[in-house]
Amino acid sequence: MTTSLDGNPLAGHVRADLPGRFNELDVLRRHWARFAAVSQGAIVPPYEVLIHPSSGCNLRCTWCIGDHVPVELWDEDREQLVLLDAAKDAPARLPDVMAVPENMLEVVRGVADYRVEAGYRQAGEDHCGVFKVETISFSGLIGEPLVARRALVPAFHLLAERGMRFGIFTNAVLMDEPCIEALMGAGYVHISIDAGTADTYAQVKYGGRPAGRAMFEKAMASLRGLVQARRKTGSTVEINTSFVMYPENFHEVYDAALLIREAGADSLRLKQDNSGQRLLRPDQAATAARLIERIRDEVETDDFRLLEVHRVGDTQEMARTCSTCSITDLMAAIGSDACLYPCNYHPRPGGFSYGSALEDGFAAVWEGGLRAQLRAQLPVICPKVCDPFKNRSNRLLAVAKSVVADHGLDRLEEHVAQLVDASAYQVEP
């Protein structure tokens, strides 16, 4: 029997087609105790910390989000007060403090060791639990994390020894054997492919320079190397890929899906240009939609999933519509300068930092007064666009917090359980 979702205020804010950790509802299902503790006024560790190991990159992707999301603050007379640029061609970039192996290990240990005991409400009763960071992810705003692989490999081994979930978002061009070996202890590896041929890869990811062709082959070789190592070692690491659909490459999405599946990846995630500056024209979007349908019919299998992070041609859900940011209490970001920021789109020279996780310690900065002060100014001090997952999560959490304010945590928990029971999204362990 299908559960009716009539009267469930969360129902219209959940993507049924996105499974598990890709889905915003997972924030409330998987991390209910943490959300409840924060709702009751506690400061507890975030469930995920995203670290930028470097602000340098070996590629020049046309859609690089750091090139397109400056922080612009204006006064009431439309006079610009602040312009913080994170672009690759900006006059300055953040220093690579986290690329020093000793610094990386100290920060990672501080994150992994952070514990807070706090009360929370669940299943109609009050509980007390110990909260800690569950996942550390390595990524970048304009930087490629493997630029700092000398610092990352020891960190990977440390996290694996501690049994802590970790993962990386990378273009994989700089991936070598020590990286692949260390990543067998990861929860996931995510590789941005973005093309079905070496020529197009060179065009959209390396300024059209011929050397980009060899980089495509290296990225695909790294993907295959990861798959082979997983098979050999029995690792459970998820190997995911992505494709940003741009006017210059969308026509290759089907070919890319075939290559990626044949290489042995577990999934392909589709996105549009998150800045909104180079979206597909209606005719291009229609062609892309047909190719995506072919992927679903001919390429997708039980072992290879297609995930539309952005639905092609749909720009509405890309817009930031929330006046508050709640996901910032549950996910943290550390820039390449070792400072904490409101999210992974914030690290930039002169940006709004909470303080240094290296000099002051992660726990002290997370619980500090500066974070509380800047937290109250979000999203006014934010870039004009949001990370897709955080954007969707904030819309859902805004509704969730209004339910808590009007009816309490017990009622919200009922709404979450109802969505899970109704298979409103694909629950995963």
- Interacting residues of 375 by C-beta distance below 8 A, sequence separation 6+: 328, 329, 342
Domain limit, last residue, from 381, 403, 420: 381
| Model confidence at 424: pLDDT above 90 | no
Does 37 reside within a domain? no
Please indicate, yes or no, whether residues 217 and 256 belong to a single structural domain of this protein: yes
pLDDT at 3: 62
Please indicate, yes or no, whether residues 283 and 428 belong to a single structural domain of this protein: no
In the chain, pLDDT over 70 holds for what percent of residues? 97
| Model confidence at 277: pLDDT above 90 | no
pLDDT band at residue 413 under the 50/70/90 scheme: very high
What is the average pLDDT across 105-127?
98
Cβ atoms of residues 196 and 241 within 8 Å: no
| Model confidence at 90: pLDDT above 90 | no
Q: Report cis status (omega within 30 of 0) of the bond before 379.
A: yes
Does 130 reside within a domain? yes
Does 40 reside within a domain? no
Q: Sign of dihedral through CA atoms 349, 354, 357, 358? A: positive
pLDDT at 66: 83
pLDDT at 78: 66
Residue 24: other Cβ atoms inside 10 A: 23
Q: Which of 136, 139, 158 is nearest to 46 (CA)?
A: 136
pLDDT band at residue 77 under the 50/70/90 scheme: low
Q: Which of 46, 35, 45, 26 is nearest to 120 (CA)?
A: 35
pLDDT at 80: 62
What is the average pLDDT across 77-96?
81
pLDDT single digits (tens) 144-191: 999 999 999 999 999 999 999 999 999 999 999 999 999 999 999 999
| Model confidence at 82: pLDDT above 80 | no
Please indicate, yes or no, whether residues 182 and 311 belong to a single structural domain of this protein: yes
Cβ atoms of residues 310 and 386 within 8 Å: no
Please indicate, yes or no, whether residues 170 and 248 belong to a single structural domain of this protein: yes
Cβ atoms of residues 142 and 193 within 8 Å: no
pLDDT single digits (tens) 397-407: 999 999 999 99
pLDDT band at residue 81 under the 50/70/90 scheme: low
The full DSSP string for 190-254 is: EEE---SSHHHHHHHHBTT-THHHHHHHHHHHHHHHHHHHHHHHT---EEEEEEEE-TTTGGGHH
As a whole number, the mean pLDDT across the chain is 94
Please indicate, yes or no, whether residues 22 and 84 belong to a single structural domain of this protein: no
The full DSSP string for 100-115 is: SHHHHHHHHHHHHH-E
Please indicate, yes or no, whether residues 199 and 255 belong to a single structural domain of this protein: yes
- 15 is written with which tokens? 């993507």
pLDDT at 375: 94
What is the average pLDDT across 363-378?
96
| Model confidence at 333: pLDDT above 60 | yes
Does 35 reside within a domain? no
Q: 32-39 and 388-407 are packed helices; what angle lies between their axes, rounded to 10 degrees?
A: 60
**Better-predicted residue by pLDDT, 267 or 80:** 267
Does 154 reside within a domain? yes
pLDDT at 313: 81
What is the average pLDDT across 334-344?
97
Does 249 reside within a domain? yes
| Model confidence at 61: pLDDT above 70 | yes
- 415 is written with which tokens? 């709404």
Please indicate, yes or no, whether residues 337 and 396 belong to a single structural domain of this protein: no
Strands 115-122 and 135-138, sheet pairing: unpaired
pLDDT band at residue 33 under the 50/70/90 scheme: very high
Please indicate, yes or no, whether residues 370 and 429 belong to a single structural domain of this protein: no
User: Residue 97 belongs to a domain with what CATH number?
Assistant: 3.20.20.70
pLDDT at 1: 43
Q: CA geometry: angle at 187 spanning 65 and 39, to 5°?
A: 70
Please indicate, yes or no, whether residues 134 and 3 belong to a single structural domain of this protein: no
Q: 198-205 and 211-233 are packed helices; what angle lies between their axes, rounded to 10 degrees?
A: 110
Please indicate, yes or no, whether residues 116 and 20 belong to a single structural domain of this protein: no
Question: Total domain count for the chain?
Answer: 2
Does 118 reside within a domain? yes
Please indicate, yes or no, whether residues 161 and 95 belong to a single structural domain of this protein: yes
pLDDT at 318: 78
Does 207 reside within a domain? yes
Expressed as residue numbers, the domain containing 119 is 46-381
Please indicate, yes or no, whether residues 130 and 6 belong to a single structural domain of this protein: no
| Model confidence at 224: pLDDT above 80 | yes
